[in-house]
């Protein structure tokens, strides 16, 4: 009796006659239940830390909305185009973004945030609408997306699109439709009667974000009509038991074969949304067609809309496209914005770092809006020419809390060289109005806030906050410039082998210990030079040294600096009677203040003559490189 009741309900809901599938009609009121706000409220209970990503406002973004790509009588199907305004003549990869919503709800605006940010990264993104199940049943949506692909090919020249690099991406049922497009390359039976028939509906790659690959499959949960009509039943017009051949026909897995496009699967932690994925990959492998899988464990089905997954999804799409299309050009020389409130291109600094292509040759500015960004940050050695700019150094804080002895997530014991909150390996890096911090605590031991290893590094109006071993200038071949910066710590809080010039910086000691621990190699003419800096501390401190030699030949010079009363009269320390002080190159010149008396200094340090001091020029220090703001 129950089965007969629901079968009757199915016919009533869809207007299906026993002789055939209904064609459907436009609903009086569109189904708007599936939207980002509703999903956010739904997911908050299990994922209280999630954040929505809003629409992007950027001077580099070009938007054209409500473009008609297909007409069927009075019905107009619309799409939107997002691209970068950067003056770049390189042809671009196109990405069609297909929204989800169970084939019956949702709309194309749901993917505006993702499309906008991909556009800034150098893609042309298209968000098409398609007919939902209340208006037209399967395969109408398939016909519509094929028509949108043909529209892209027709307008490729207008938007500078390479027609060999057309990607179709989608989330949920949009992912199913995207996979269907890639699997049915060359099958004219799904072209429909929509516009631009002279152009191909084939695609060159697919990004399936939690879209099932098979409706009739042990992993699939589609087609359960016992309590209410399933979304798939409403779209296909028949239940699974009535027309199993139709359910198979609508499954992307049915068509996977030699002409299928490469696929990136981005999946949530909801297992049933992966239905048919491994079988699909097995077919791709048979024909040596590339595929990749990224799974966000524990994430909800709607992961693509929210951080902490949105930024990672964006980066995975970019990486996949550059893998499939090596000719995809690097990021345009644009400004990338980071904002925790979702108004930037990224919500995390690391995501912005990840978006910069390897072997980068263009200047890229990353602007960070106010906030405390708790991230362990790493910039690869090939991601050069990056500038990091905060809106206010007191309000733009990059911090983490690793320290020696702490166990990392991988199970390793952290030491000084792995304790950094931020590590910069790239050359030609600059930062201004940023606080780099390690907040592990006063008694945590070695805890690096910033490790700077690249050559020609510039830091202006920045703060370096921590306790022991705060600023690690590790590369003996690097030159670094610090201007009007604030640096505070307890022990050896400026240390390493690099050549670093500190101009008009404030150095604040928080413990009776040592400011510097240089490990300058003998072949480096200069190590740490402090020019016109101010050395301060809490009034309770009276036994702080200017430095101790971490390695032989350590080189540190203070010139024209204010030396506060916290510095001990003899100035320097010999590192517990090691032999390094015998080769240390420690010197001062025209310092002033309560503890600047040269007569009281240790015998193995020296005061520079005027002639010797003239050797400490930017020209000699920088060696053909001059830092500028």
Q: Which residue has the tokens 């307008």?
A: 155
Whether 469 is catalytic:
yes
DSSP per position, 85-138? -S---S-EEEEEEE--STTTS--GGGGHHHHHHHHHTT-EEEEE----TTT--T
How far apart CA 374 and CA 137 sit, in angstroms, is 48
Name the catalytic one among 439, 461, 469, 531.
469
Tokens (6 digits) for 402: 């690793």
Tokens (6 digits) for 38: 């509703």
Q: What are the residues whose beta carbons fall under 8 Å from the beta carbon of 524, sequence distance 6 or more?
A: 476, 497, 499, 555
For residue 620, give Cα distances in angstroms to 427, 428, 479, 628: 20, 19, 12, 16
- Region for residue 590 given its phi and psi (left: phi exceeds 0; alpha: psi -120 to 50; beta: otherwise): left
Tokens (6 digits) for 554: 């350590």
How far apart CA 427 and CA 452 sit, in angstroms, is 10
What's phi and psi for 125, nearest 5 deg?
-110, 135
What's phi and psi for 110, nearest 5 deg?
-60, -25
Tokens (6 digits) for 527: 């190590």
Whether 208 is catalytic:
no
Q: What DSSP designation does 346 have?
A: B
How far apart CA 137 and CA 15 sit, in angstroms, is 11
Tokens (6 digits) for 337: 């914005």
To the nearest 10°, the Cα dihedral for 196, 200, 204, 205?
Answer: 50
Question: Cα 428 vs. chain centroid, distance in angstroms?
Answer: 20
Q: What are the residues whose beta carbons fall under 8 Å from the beta carbon of 462, sequence distance 6 or more?
A: 393, 431, 432, 433, 434, 435, 436, 482, 485, 486
Residue 179: how many other CB atoms lie within 10 Å: 31
How far apart CA 124 and CA 156 sit, in angstroms, is 10
Q: Are 204 and 151 in contact (CB under 8 A)?
A: no
Name the catalytic one among 492, 531, 538, 610.
492
Q: What are the residues whose beta carbons fall under 8 Å from the beta carbon of 152, sequence distance 6 or more?
A: 94, 96, 126, 161, 166
Q: Is 266 helix (H, G, I), strand (E, B) or coil?
A: strand
Question: Cα 414 vs. chain centroid, distance in angstroms?
Answer: 25
* H runs (alpha helix) in 250-309: 277-286
How far apart CA 255 and CA 260 sit, in angstroms, is 8
Tokens (6 digits) for 34: 């599936």
Residues catalogued as catalytic: 469, 492
């Amino acid at each position: 009796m129950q089965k007969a009741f629901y079968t009757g309900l199915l016919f009533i809901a869809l207007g299906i006659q026993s002789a055939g599938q209904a064609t459907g009609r436009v609903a009086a009121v569109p189904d708007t239940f599936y939207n980002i706000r509703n999903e956010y409220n739904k997911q908050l209970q299990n994922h209280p830390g999630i954040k929505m990503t809003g629409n992007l406002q950027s001077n580099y973004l070009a938007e054209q909305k409500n473009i008609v790509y297909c007409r069927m009588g009075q019905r107009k199907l619309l799409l939107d185009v997002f691209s970068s305004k950067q003056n770049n003549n390189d042809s671009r990869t196109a990405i069609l973004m297909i929204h989800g919503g169970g084939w019956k709800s949702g709309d194309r605006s749901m993917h505006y945030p993702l499309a906008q940010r991909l556009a800034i990264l150098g893609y042309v993104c298209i968000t098409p609408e398609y007919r939902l199940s209340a208006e037209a049943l399967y395969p109408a949506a398939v016909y519509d997306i094929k028509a949108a692909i043909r529209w892209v090919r027709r307008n490729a020249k207008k938007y500078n699109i390479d027609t060999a690099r057309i990607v179709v991406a989608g989330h949920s049922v949009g992912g199913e439709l995207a996979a269907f497009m890639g699997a049915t390359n060359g099958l004219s039976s799904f072209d429909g009667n929509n516009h631009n028939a002279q152009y191909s509906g084939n695609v060159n790659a697919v990004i399936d974000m939690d879209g099932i690959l098979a409706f009739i499959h042990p992993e699939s949960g589609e087609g359960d009509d016992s309590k209410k009509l399933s979304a798939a039943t409403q779209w296909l017009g028949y239940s699974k038991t009535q027309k199993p051949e139709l359910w198979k026909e609508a499954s992307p897995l049915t068509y996977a074969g030699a002409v299928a496009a490469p696929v990136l699967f981005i999946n949530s932690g909801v297992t049933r949304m992966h239905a048919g994925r491994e079988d699909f990959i097995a077919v791709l492998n048979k024909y040596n067609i590339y595929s990749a899988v990224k799974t966000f464990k524990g994430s909800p089905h709607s992961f693509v809309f929210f951080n902490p997954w949105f930024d990672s999804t964006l980066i995975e799409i970019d990486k996949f496209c550059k893998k499939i299309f090596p000719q995809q050009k690097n990021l345009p020389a644009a400004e990338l914005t980071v904002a925790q409130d979702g108004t930037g291109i990224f919500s995390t600094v690391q995501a912005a770092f990840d978006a910069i292509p390897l072997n980068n040759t263009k200047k890229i500015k990353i602007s960070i809006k106010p906030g405390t960004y708790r991230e362990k940050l790493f910039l690869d050695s090939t991601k050069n020419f990056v500038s990091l700019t905060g809106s206010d150094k007191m309000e733009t804080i990059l911090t983490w809390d690793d320290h020696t002895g702490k166990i990392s997530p991988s199970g390793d014991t952290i030491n000084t060289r792995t304790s950094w909150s931020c590590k910069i390996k790239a050359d030609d890096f600059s930062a201004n109005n940023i606080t780099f911090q390690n907040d592990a605590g006063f008694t945590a031991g070695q805890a690096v806030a910033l490790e700077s290893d690249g050559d020609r590094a510039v830091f202006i109006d920045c703060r370096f906050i921590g306790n022991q071993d705060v600023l690690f200038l590790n590369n003996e071949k690097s030159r670094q410039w610090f201007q009007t910066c604030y640096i505070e710590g307890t022990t050896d809080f400026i240390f390493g082998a690099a050549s670093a010039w500190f101009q008009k910086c404030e150095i604040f000691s928080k413990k009776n210990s040592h400011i510097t621990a240089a490990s300058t190699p003998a072949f480096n003419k200069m190590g740490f030079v402090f020019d016109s800096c101010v050395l301060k501390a809490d009034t309770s401190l009276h036994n702080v040294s200017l430095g101790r030699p971490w390695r032989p030949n350590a080189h540190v010079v203070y010139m024209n600096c204010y030396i506060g009363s916290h510095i001990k009269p003899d100035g320097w320390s010999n590192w517990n009677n090691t032999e390094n002080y015998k080769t240390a190159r420690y010197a001062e010149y025209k310092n002033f203040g309560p503890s600047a008396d040269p007569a009281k200094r240790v015998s193995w340090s020296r005061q520079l003559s005027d002639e010797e001091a003239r050797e400490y020029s930017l020209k000699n220090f920088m060696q053909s490189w001059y830092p500028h703001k």
